[in-house]
Each structure stands twice: as structure tokens, then as C-alpha cells.
Structure 1
Amino acid sequence: MGKKLQRKKNSVLKRLSLHLLKIIVILVIPVVAFVYSFQLKNITVTGSDRYSREEIIDWLISSEVDHNTLICYFKYKYFTGIRIPFVEKLSFELVDRNSINIRVYDKKVIGCIEFMGDYLYFDKDGIIVESSSARLNDIPLIKGLKYQKIVLNEKLEVQKEELYDVILNLTQQIEKNELKVSTISFNSNYEVTVDCGNIKAMLGKRSTYDETLAKLKNILAEAEGMNLTIDMRGENDYFIAKPEISSD
């Protein structure tokens, strides 16, 4: 009787073991297949002038599960938002089981101001779109603006609304002429001075600065390596250049 009961118990355990094994096989095989079939091997990144491909990938691929193509795609496409400084948005395209295309849309900033040790970056409409302790070398620092309040994602209220049009014209022409301008300064009469390395150019007050900055480009090519202040406030093609005196 005891042996018969023992054989029955062994038979039940054997059947349970077989059922458990089947369940494990049914579950494990698809999981293994999913993991190995959708390994993320190719990531194409386009659209950003601010970040390299490697920098964008470092922001996105932060865990082992992110190396799965489908998980990574659905995670960022539908479920998880990610904030990257100076990036407006990201779009994702699933190419195949091993490849994803990422399109980066940079925030459009034309200038920044310094406030309490941070740099506040604003767009062509004066909206503050980013705050950072880092200074971007290709974005000019704007000096001489007076403002009442500073709120992220709101418009920077300055003393004259027209100044944004002036700044936009300046930055567009600076980019067009490939000038390396670190600072744009307004004085109390709204006259403009730009710093280009060791050369300071006084541009005056104008409706547009297209011709003036085109002329400045030629002057800078001739004056490379010099330490000068150039007065371009007149209406003719003759400019006064004075050497800067070192304080040392």
C-alpha cells in the first residue's frame, strides 16, 4: 500500500514537473528570441548642430533594456519623455528589427543674457527657452538690456520691443558672414558694439546691419592677430581703428 502511494506521488510530481518545464519552455523561448532578434545595433542621428551622434545616444541609451530595438522605440516614442538641453524635440523611426532613426530638433536661440551666474538663452521672439550654467561659444552674450522679470518659457521683457528685431538681424548677419562674435552690447542710445576676439567694432545705431557686418568681415580678415577698436559708426567706407592698450 505504501509503495503504491509513493508511486502515485512520484507520478504526480513527474507530471507537474513536465507541465512546469513546458511552461518554462513556452515562456523562455519567446523571451530569448525577442531579446536576440531585436538587438539595437544601428542608430542614425540627424538634425542637430548642437550635439554629436554619440552625445545623443548617451542621453537615450542608459540601461540594458534600451539596447532592445522595440523597447527603446516604444519607450521614447510613446511613454517616456526626455529632456536634453537645447533640444526642442526628438522623433523616432523604426527602420528594422536592429535599426532606429532619430531626428533631433534643436531649439532656435539667438542670444543669451547672464543672470545670477547662469546664462539664459532666448529665441527670436524673446522667449527664454533654456537656462544653463554653461556658456555656448557660438551664441553671443547680449549686454545692455534692461528687464523687469525673468521667467523660463516666457518672454523677456526689455526696455524696447524693437531690440529683438535688431538682435535677430545682427545674429543672422553674423551667421551669414561667419563672424566669431562673443558679445553684442547696447549703450544707452542703443548703439551696437560687437566683440570679435581681440577686436571690438563699434557699429552704431542702424535699421539693419547687413552691409556693415559684410564690411567688418573684410576688415577682420586684414586685421587678424591685431588688438583693435574699430569705429564703424559713420556712413562712409573709411573707419577709424585704434589699438587697444593692454592693462598689464
Structure 2
Amino acid sequence: MNRKKPKKSDNVLWRLCRKAVLLLLIIGIPFLFFTSTFQLKKIDVVGNERYTKEQITEQLLQSKLDSYTPILYMKYRYFTQFHYPFVEKIDMEMVDNHTITVYVYEKQVAGCVEFMGEYLYFDKDGIVVESSSSQIENIPMIQGLEYNKIILHEKLEVQKDELFDVIINLTQLIHKYDLDVDTITFNKASEVTIDCGGIKVLLGKKRTYDEALSELKNIMAEAEGMDIIIDMSNYVKGTDHIIAKPKKATE
């Protein structure tokens, strides 16, 4: 009795099926293991002040692959720089299979100037670190100056070199004494006026403003919410050369 030989096409189909199953076992099982073992479930953000955790997280997760802990960690640890306004850099720590901690190092911004419709922000050394089309809150705006040039990542240049030192001194002291200053304005005589909400403070022209701003910190605690002008242009430590009057009286 003659047996029928299997068709050649059946043998080919069978071999293809076996290869497909083998390939599925080799690739599919490790893939399922990886996706279930390293699914990113939690991102902790540390050091962020200007941005929320949600904003940082949204910027980090750019693709579906970023939702796996080792991939996200390796990406920003070794291959990709994190680019976001006012962020100097980030560091990452893979806490466990499902958790990453992101350490955010923000650029230290001392003040802001407006130039050709853009807001340019500089650090404590006067280096322009960032530009933006909108003004950021809680960063003092410098007004009344002329600028020789403003180039990103270079030192701010103004019409008088000595004014640069004044600007840096003022912005550092404002940060030191935690004063809420909206604008720092220079007049033609290089005299300084600062605006703190509804309060305008005349500081005049001094070699250093440390003593005046130290005293202003105490005054602001009592003058909060008032709409007044405080004249400290002749203030000397240990004296009472401070004049406060309503703004309306001067209009």
C-alpha cells in the first residue's frame, strides 16, 4: 500500500510556523517580562521651584519608550540633554524598577531686561542665561538703561561700566533680603528707584545699597499693602533720614 507523501508546500508552511513560534518565544517572552518588570509608575521631582512636577514630567516623556524605567534613565543619563527654559541640567536616580527621581538644577536668575520685544534674563554674574517672549514673575525688571549689546550666554553690557556693578549689587541684595521687587529704575543721574507692589522706594545714588535694603526689609513688614512712596535717598545707618508719604499727595 502506497503512502501519500506530504506536499512540499505543507512542509514549508510547517517550518515557517515553527520559526514563528520560536521567534515569538525568543523575543516575545523577554519583551513581556521587560514591559511588566520595568513599567514606569512614578517620577519624583526634586529641586524644582519655577516649574511644577507635571511640567517637568511632561517634558521628560517624549515617546512610549520613555515609559520604561531603564530606558528613560539611560536616555537622559548618557545620551540626551534635557532642554527646558531656565533649567541648567537634571540628574536622575533609578530608585527601583518602577520609580525614578529627577533632580532639577534651575538657572539662578538675578534680573531681567527688555530688548527688542524680548525679555532677557541674567544671572548674578551678569551673564544672559535665557530669553523669553513673556515676563516671568518674581524677577526684577531693570529699566532706564541703554545697552551696547545683549547676546545670549554673554555678559550684559550697559552704557556705563559702573552701572553694571550697581545692578548686580542690587539684585544680589534683593535676593539676600527676600524683597518682592517688580522693577529697578535708573534715571539720567543714575539714581535708583525700586517698585515693590504698591510701594515705590527712592534709593538715590550710593556706593552700596546694603544698609538701605537691610532697613527696607524691616520697613516693608509694616508697610505691606500701603500705596506710598518711601524716600531713602539720604538714608544713613543709625539715622532717621527716611520719609514716607502717600503716592496721591505727590501726583
Query: Please, what TM-score do these two structures have when normalized by structure 2?
Result: 0.89
CA-CA distance at 1:57 after TM superposition: 0.6
- Contact kept, 8 Å, 1:39 with 1:98, in 2: the verdict is yes
Q: CA RMSD in A?
A: 2.4
- Contact kept, 8 Å, 1:124 with 1:164, in 2: the verdict is no
Q: Secondary structure at the match of 2:221?
A: helix
CA-CA distance at 1:129 after TM superposition: 0.9
**Hey, what's the Cα distance between the residues in 1 that align with 2:150 and 2:104?**
27
Name the structure 1 match of 2:27.
Answer: 27
Name the structure 1 match of 2:36.
Answer: 36
Name the structure 1 match of 2:226.
Answer: 226
**Hey, what's the Cα distance between the residues in 2 that align with 1:221 and 1:93?**
42
Name the structure 2 match of 1:75.
Answer: 75
CA-CA distance at 1:95 after TM superposition: 2.4
Report the AA paired with residue 84 of structure 1. Y
Which deviations, in whole Å up to 9, do the C-alpha atoms of 1:46-65 show, x marking residues without a partner? Answer: 12221222221111113322
Identical columns (%):
53
- Contact kept, 8 Å, 2:146 with 2:159, in 1: the verdict is yes
CA-CA distance at 1:105 after TM superposition: 1.0
Report the AA paired with residue 198 of structure 1. G
Which deviations, in whole Å up to 9, do the C-alpha atoms of 1:7-66 show, x marking residues without a partner? Answer: 554344323312221111211111111111111122221122212222211111133221
Query: Please, what TM-score do these two structures have when normalized by structure 1?
Result: 0.90
The equivalent position to 1:242 in structure 2, one of 220, 241, 245, is 245
**Hey, what's the Cα distance between the residues in 2 that align with 1:212 and 1:82?**
41
**Hey, what's the Cα distance between the residues in 2 that align with 1:80 and 1:113?**
31
Which deviations, in whole Å up to 9, do the C-alpha atoms of 1:175-214 show, x marking residues without a partner? Answer: 2322211001112222211001111001112222222112
Name the structure 2 match of 1:85.
Answer: 85
Report the AA paired with residue 59 of structure 1. Q
Which deviations, in whole Å up to 9, do the C-alpha atoms of 1:118-168 show, x marking residues without a partner? Answer: 210011222211110221111100112211222211222112333333223
Report the AA paired with residue 241 of structure 2. Y
Comparing 12-21 and 113-122, the one that deviates more: 12-21
**Hey, what's the Cα distance between the residues in 2 that align with 1:110 and 1:3?**
92
**Hey, what's the Cα distance between the residues in 2 that align with 1:15 and 1:229?**
90
- Contact kept, 8 Å, 2:124 with 2:172, in 1: the verdict is no
Name the structure 2 match of 1:58.
Answer: 58
- Contact kept, 8 Å, 1:125 with 1:164, in 2: the verdict is no
Name the structure 2 match of 1:124.
Answer: 124
CA-CA distance at 1:247 after TM superposition: 11
Report the AA paired with residue 207 of structure 2. S
Comparing 82-91 and 14-23, the one that deviates more: 14-23
Q: Secondary structure at the match of 1:139?
A: coil
Comparing 28-37 and 153-162, the one that deviates more: 153-162
Name the structure 1 match of 2:103.
Answer: 103
Q: What is the correspondence of 1:81-230 to structure 2 with a 5 Å cutoff?
A: 81-230=81-230
Unaligned stretches of 5+ in structure 1?
none
- Contact kept, 8 Å, 1:110 with 1:167, in 2: the verdict is no
**Hey, what's the Cα distance between the residues in 2 that align with 1:157 and 1:164?**
7
Report the AA paired with residue 97 of structure 2. R
Report the AA paired with residue 22 of structure 2. K
**Hey, what's the Cα distance between the residues in 2 that align with 1:3 and 1:85?**
77
**Hey, what's the Cα distance between the residues in 2 that align with 1:48 and 1:19?**
51
**Hey, what's the Cα distance between the residues in 1 that align with 2:21 and 2:82?**
41
